[in-house]
Amino acid sequence: MSSGTAKNLQEILSRVPNIQEYLYNNQTGARVYPVVPPEFTNWRDEQHAWRETVCLFDLSYHMTDLFLRGPDAFALLRQLGINSFEGFEPGQAKQYIPVSPEGYIIGDVILFYLEDGTFQLVGRPSAHNWVQFHAETSGANVTYERDEWSVADPHKPRKTFRFQIQGPNAPKVLEKLLGGPPPEIPFFHFTRVQIAGKTVGLLHHGMSGVSGAEFFGDFADGPAVKAAILEAGKEFGLRQVGSRAYATNGLESGWIPNPLPAIYTSPELQKYREWLPANAYEAVGSLGGSFVSPNIEDYYLTPWDLGYGRLIKFDHDFVGRAALERLKDQPHRKKVTLVWDPEEAARVLSSLVTQPKGQRYKYFDLPLAQYATWMYDAVLNDAGEVVGFSMWTGFSSNEERVLSLATIDEQYAKEGTRLRIVWGEPNGGSRKPSVERHVQTEVWVTVGPAPYAEPARRYREQVRRARQKS
């Protein structure tokens, strides 16, 4: 059934027989990373750079920004986030997680507390939509400004450029850029520096297993700043990372970026669904993968399921607090990395040339095997029971393995446990344009840690210890 000329998400949902089926057959494929070229050298070389030398990520185009200002901005964000805001001051950033009244994740973004008292949310738009809705409807004394990702309008300049340098040589590049030792900045804190005559924000942020840096500032200053970074990085083997390799960095660092926003069924959120337009991210995105349930709530995830239990702080009132208090002592899933058997990966990949059309396994794009907005592949135990979801799959040339970031029942989360991923959609596949006719198969995998990359685990432990001392 078509959504017709619906004006908002609630109208769409009222017209379709089943929410899951509607999202599963939405005509949107994998999330794109606009403007930045797919490759500068090749994606294998670019992956190696963040492990062996240094790389430059251009993050200026694929994320949405929401600026929030006003006397009530701090209180509003505090009311909507599971995170503690104690000691949160200008010059700091944090991962920001809002949940539904039932305690399920709505979004996952980075929140910057800017020096002028302005807050900036950066990431996929589901959290932005939630915050903006409350800014408009709560009566809070706030104003907001929104800057959409470049898919919305590829020719419209963004407000903010955002570059990262990551890899073992990143500190050397930073020192050369600044003409001396960089300022001592705690993890996820930022300050202002001068680069190429421009005032630039410098955030201490690491994604690849070593201390890295993120630069941000006025978009018009971006070309000059990037040129300076590239020049400083020449002698240290700097590589620019294209959109193909960039999307795989999370495979090694253990970040699942794409949970389905848990907003489709709660009676308390009807007004929110009526507020969301028919072309909103939550309305046009697509579900994909081998897990299929008629109950959309089976796709919802708690903070614990994604490894965010440590971020929940019951030191303030927030939407979903009562639900999380009820859930905290119940069994939870655990985030892990599922390592594909090499022979199994080869079998899936080779079917493109060994099997006739229609009898091949689901095409595995390299290096990232995403073909929908929200991927949910079923993970099975020996009895064939679903024990979790694989949600982010791709190939790491650094680890020389196909890796799947997954959330699974804790009893199966011990390293070395053997499980299976069901690869491909049932009944030949959905109607998404990114899905060709194919057959399902089961792939043997081994449970590994998340992050899987040893440098990333080591760096995360260093950050944890530093925070304990501060």
Q: Where are the alpha helices (DSSP H) in 268-358?
A: 270-275, 281-284, 321-327, 342-354
The answer, yes or no, to whether residue 433 has pLDDT greater than 70, is yes
Which amino acid type is present at position 326? R
The predicted pLDDT at position 466 comes to 67
Instruction: State phi, psi for 123 to the nearest 5 degrees.
Output: 155, -160
Tokens of 287: 């579900």
> What are the boundaries of each domain within the chain?
9-29+263-299+331-456, 43-62+156-251, 64-147
User: What percent of the chain has pLDDT above 70?
Assistant: 97
> In which element (H, E) is residue 422 found?
strand 418-423
Report whether CATH 3.50.50.60 matches the domain 64-147. no
Model pLDDT for residues 237-268, shown as the tens digit of each residue: 999 999 999 999 999 999 999 899 999 999 99
Average pLDDT, the chain: 95
Q: Can you say whether the dihedral through the CA atoms of 45, 51, 54, 60 is positive or negative?
A: positive
Model pLDDT for residues 179-189, shown as the tens digit of each residue: 999 999 999 99
> In which element (H, E) is residue 51 found?
helix 43-52
Tokens of 444: 């043997």
Cα gap 460→451, rounded to integer Å: 9
Q: Where are the beta strands (DSSP E) in 233-278?
A: 238-241
Instruction: State phi, psi for 423 to the nearest 5 degrees.
Output: -105, 125
The predicted pLDDT at position 30 comes to 86
| Among the ranges given (118-132, 281-295, 394-408, 447-461), the one the predictor scored with the smallest mean pLDDT | 447-461
Q: Which residues neighbour 455 within 8 Å (Cβ) at sequence distance 6 or greater? A: 51, 208, 209, 210
The answer, yes or no, to whether residue 394 has pLDDT greater than 80, is yes
The answer, yes or no, to whether residue 210 has pLDDT greater than 90, is no
pLDDT band of residue 1 (cuts 50, 70, 90) is very low
CATH code for the domain defined by 43-62+156-251: 3.30.1360.120
Domain 9-29+263-299+331-456 CATH (choose: 3.50.50.60, 2.40.30.110, 2.40.50.1070, 3.20.20.80):
2.40.30.110
Starting at the earlier edge strand, list the strands of the sheet with 143-147.
92-96, 109-113, 119-123, 64-69, 143-147
pLDDT band of residue 414 (cuts 50, 70, 90) is very high
The answer, yes or no, to whether residue 62 has pLDDT greater than 80, is yes
